[in-house]
Amino acid sequence: MTDLSAPLSPDQQRLLEVMSDAFLRDNEWPTWDFVRRTLRREKINAASVLTSLPKLGAQGNIGSTYGLVQHDRVFLPDESRPNLTVAAGLHLPRFSASVSSPFLLVLGVMVEMEHNAPISSSTVTEVRISPNAVRHALPSISDTFMSWLPDLLAHEPATWGGGFRGGSADGGWSRGIRPEIADYADVRDLQAYVSQIEAWLAEAQQVYTPAPMYGQVPAQSVWASSTSDPAPAPAPQYVNESLIDELEAKNDSTSWGLGKLVGLLRELNTNFADEHPYACHALLRAVLDHVPPIFNTEGLPKITFEQVASNYAWKQTDRKYVLKLRDFKAQGDDVMHRQIRKSQDLITMEDVPPRAWLNALLREVIDAL
């Protein structure tokens, strides 16, 4: 049986340290390029070490898993930013003190909120955690940790789902609390937290199989037993789901019709998860053509993405991302308009631009609504 707390090899330990040190120093996860090059200079193959790390749950490429590092691609692009999970604190004292321990305190607050929330037989109960609720329960929580918390809640199995709402003028946000949070009521330390996730993964071996979509082969059984294929892993996301949630929440308060944009983004996530590079290119190209009017602050009769990328008042890093998206449009045109030829096309999933570029654009779209 896999034990996430078991001693790691020196190379595995070093991989975690490089990621943790960069995160705690810069307040953001390092690029895979940084991790890979840092370890290569120490004669360590980062990709091999990453795949060798212990993980709970399914041991193949299909099924729910949880380990010390979270990433959603087998071959990581240099621009990607894999992150450590809370469980990495089992091996990193400084990371545990800064990230894992405060997260467990917030988890306890969420358990208590769910337990004390009034419920009704006639309406759906909604319980949500917010920065104000966290600070009220934990007055000494640091501002730095609070800036990390939304992403931690999105990535950890205990706090998946519930729906994220954000984008208010004061930077406020909230995330729904699912009733299943009660399973963590007795968690008091990191080892107990990991044990509870392991129990959840074992239970997930019996999972409801939804009715097939048109064109799919029906499943042989509605219920998959524990001896059948394991539960599917959460689909990898290209567009941060919290951004899509924010767009949907804005739909009632803006004059812009956001239905098509939300649809394009959800289809992009689906095709990214299924690794369809041509569809990903076409959908991303469509998004870039769709959003420019939101940035038309000068009342131009027509505005292009090239104009938006060049002239809008972007933050320094966001400008770099958006200019790269502008340059990507030629690649998108290649996918959509190049006619058939005798040689094979060379577009693959590795050619899909880093998700950080589009997520930065969408963050600005939401803020501009």
Tokens linked to 117: 């929330």
Residue 60 has a pLDDT of 53
pLDDT digits (tens, 9 = 90+) for 331-351: 887 788 888 887 777 788 888
**Residue that has been written with the tokens 């009715």 in this structure:** 211
Query: Residue 247 and residue 54: Cα distance in Å, rounded?
Result: 37
Degrees to nearest 5, angle at CA 217 with 56 and 266? 65
Residue 334 has a pLDDT of 79
Q: Which amino acid is located at 92 in the chain?
A: L
Strand partners, 66: 56
User: Mean pLDDT across the stretch 67-71?
Assistant: 90
Query: Residue 184 and residue 108: Cα distance in Å, rounded?
Result: 8
State residue 129 phi and psi, 5-degree precision. Answer: -95, 140
Residue 361 has a pLDDT of 94
Highest mean pLDDT among 138-142, 154-158, 313-317: 138-142
With bands split at pLDDT 50, 70 and 90, how would you rate the model's confidence at 14? very high
> At 66, which helix (H) or strand (E)?
strand 65-67
Q: What percent of the chain has pLDDT over 70?
A: 87
C-alpha torsion sign, points 251, 255, 260, 264:
negative
Query: Residue 134 and residue 125: Cα distance in Å, rounded?
Result: 20
Strand partners, 101: none
- pTM (two decimals): 0.61
